[in-house]
Amino acid sequence: MKKIIAGGIFLFIAAAVSFAGDAAVLVDSGFSADGAYYIFGQYGKTDKSFQGWAEIYTVDVAGNDYVDGGVFRVKPSAVTFNKNGKEVFDSLAGQNFNAIKKYGCNPAKPDQVLYIREDEKKSSLDEIVFKDFVSSLSKDQAYYHVRLVPEYVGSGIKTKSSFVINLEKRDADGTVLARQVIGTPSVKRSGVTGYKIERIVCDNSGKNIVFIVEKTVEDKTGTNIRYMIEAAALNSDFFLNLAEHNDSDAK
């Protein structure tokens, strides 16, 4: 079973090893064939108690929520003392192999990866821009504009935070053709003091999109890096051609 897992179900992406603290390793399993589900995981070892831990999450893309019965975790404990995170993760994935396999998820192909944060110094508030990944508008190329908008109350371990992601599709002149707000601002996360979009991927159809977000978490053990997902099925405005947009605006 470990051979199967190592052979292609999961793609491992290492977090920056230079981070001083408990930095998770992201495990990106990708979309199901129909784009309805997305699976990711993370693992690590606590910085001071040296206890391994691992998590796997199955996401309902349209609902932007975890699937019931699709979340698997091993918390750090005396049982995982001196076990590295990958060992704990492999065991967790093996124990839940059938539950994971039924979704048939595969990591994104290169043309499905829309953005990767390569500059560690890039501000979380900087706008992200990339070309239309579904179709062009007549002779003009359209562009997607992404901006993460966080909200923080308090500081340190007492912080309560949330965010939304504003997604727009614009033509070459900057006219907004489609707009969608992604996220759950009503969810207030304790101790999360920072968010950064790590990467953006779409499914084969281009109709479903996932934002992998790095979050900085402050707790009694110190500063930790974790990952989370915001997912969405794009609304129909994103797939209108230029003529259809003009007709819509004229009505």
Which stretch of 34-38, 58-62, 148-152, 218-222 has the lowest confidence by average pLDDT? 218-222
Q: Rounded CA gap, 14 and 151, in Å?
A: 28
Q: Rounded CA gap, 36 and 5, in Å?
A: 22
DSSP one-letter code for 239: G
Q: What is the pLDDT of residue 120?
A: 78
Which stretch of 31-40, 215-224, 225-234 has the lowest confidence by average pLDDT? 215-224
Q: Rounded CA gap, 131 and 200, in Å?
A: 13
Q: What is the pLDDT of residue 122?
A: 78
**pTM for this structure?**
0.86
Strand partners, 153: 160
Domain ranges in the chain?
2-250
Q: Rounded CA gap, 6 and 64, in Å?
A: 28
